[in-house]
């Protein structure tokens, strides 16, 4: 199964990076970055071969997950090339690899073919939003464990490989801000081809996406107005990610796997 190869490569890149950071060497070790770039290329090749079809985009739920992982991997690798975030790319690459494992496993589902450029644009924005908000979920989880360990005044252990709390928080809200902006574009571009939410089997998907948009919006406003952080950021990010995952994957799973339909 070739789809396991990106996971192996991403984990290798993360291990090489973690070893370099643990040794107080560079957080941009050439070997780790080279393996990560190869992993992205392999992942992309497998993914786009799987979703291309003469009948339209064959974007099953496993390939949707892989596409989100591809966004996570590209973004993480580009940031890792700049450095300054210690071993944070390691868990992000691991997430990308796990999402890549299902690439091409499910076949036979096609997105709608009409208004092709609008559909492609909408899918691109959706993948970017889901990818960047998934990055924020990983970062806020790292922050939670890091803060919990600091409150107990215990040794950080493997958490010491992560950047300081302030750096993590900055990265978190940058990812949240970017993801929220693109999620807004997802909702806007969706209006290009949505004519009847019920007939096109999109009511639940849009409703859940709007709820996620509201949750993330409240968090970002709270951050700017009242300096929200820590557990509050964790709670809002977790709730937002749950609703977004239900919109992005849950509705697709119900339609394709339980009802035998697709949107559009």
Q: Which pLDDT tens digit goes with each residue over 2-39?
A: 789 999 999 999 999 999 999 988 889 999 999 999 99
- What's the CA gap between 248 and 208, in Å, rounded? 9
Looking at residue 34, its pLDDT comes to: 98
Q: Which two tokens stand for residue 154?
A: 């215990």
- What's the CA gap between 52 and 67, in Å, rounded? 13
CB atoms within 10 A of CB 68: 26
Looking at residue 253, its pLDDT comes to: 62
SS3 label, residue 201: coil
Looking at residue 55, its pLDDT comes to: 60
Q: Which pLDDT tens digit goes with each residue over 35-72?
A: 999 999 999 999 999 887 666 666 778 888 999 999 99
- What's the CA gap between 128 and 55, in Å, rounded? 24
Rounded (10°) CA dihedral 133, 120, 38, 61: 70
Looking at residue 264, its pLDDT comes to: 44
CB atoms within 10 A of CB 255: 19
Closest CA to 91 of 33, 161, 29: 161
Q: Which pLDDT tens digit goes with each residue over 141-167?
A: 999 888 888 788 777 788 899 999 889
The per-residue pLDDT of the chain, averaged, comes to 85
Q: Can you tell me the mean pLDDT for 241-249?
A: 87
Q: Which two tokens stand for residue 104?
A: 């091409």
Helix pair 203-226, 230-245: axis angle to 10 deg? 170
* Helix, strand and coil percent figures for the chain, each rounded to 5: 75, 0, 25
Q: Which pLDDT tens digit goes with each residue over 99-138?
A: 999 998 876 555 555 556 667 787 889 899 999 999 999 9
């Amino acid at each position: 199964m070739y789809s396991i190869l990106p996971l192996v490569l991403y984990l290798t890149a993360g291990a090489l990076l973690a070893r370099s950071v643990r040794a107080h060497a560079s957080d941009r070790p050439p070997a780790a970055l080279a393996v990560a770039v190869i992993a992205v290329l392999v992942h992309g090749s497998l993914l786009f071969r799987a979703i291309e079809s003469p009948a339209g985009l064959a974007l099953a739920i496993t390939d949707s997950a892989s596409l989100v992982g591809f966004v996570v991997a590209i973004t993480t690798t580009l940031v890792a090339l700049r450095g300054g975030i210690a071993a944070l790319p390691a868990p992000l690459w691991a997430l990308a690899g796990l999402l890549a494992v299902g690439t091409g496993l499910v076949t036979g589902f096609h997105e709608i073919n009409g208004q092709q450029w609008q559909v492609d644009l909408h899918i691109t924005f959706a993948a970017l939003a889901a990818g960047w908000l998934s990055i924020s979920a990983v970062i806020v989880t790292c922050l939670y464990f890091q803060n919990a360990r600091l409150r107990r005044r215990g040794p950080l252990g493997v958490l010491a490989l992560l950047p300081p709390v302030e750096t993590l928080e900055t990265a978190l809200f940058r990812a949240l801000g970017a993801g929220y902006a693109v999620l807004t574009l997802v909702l806007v571009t969706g209006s290009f081809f949505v004519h009847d939410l019920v007939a096109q089997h999109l009511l639940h998907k849009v409703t859940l996406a709007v709820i996620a948009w509201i949750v993330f919006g409240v968090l970002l406003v709270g951050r700017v107005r009242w300096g929200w952080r820590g557990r509050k950021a964790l709670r809002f990010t977790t709730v937002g990610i749950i609703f977004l995952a239900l919109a992005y994957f849950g509705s697709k799973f119900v339609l394709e796997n339980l009802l035998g339909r697709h949107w559009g």
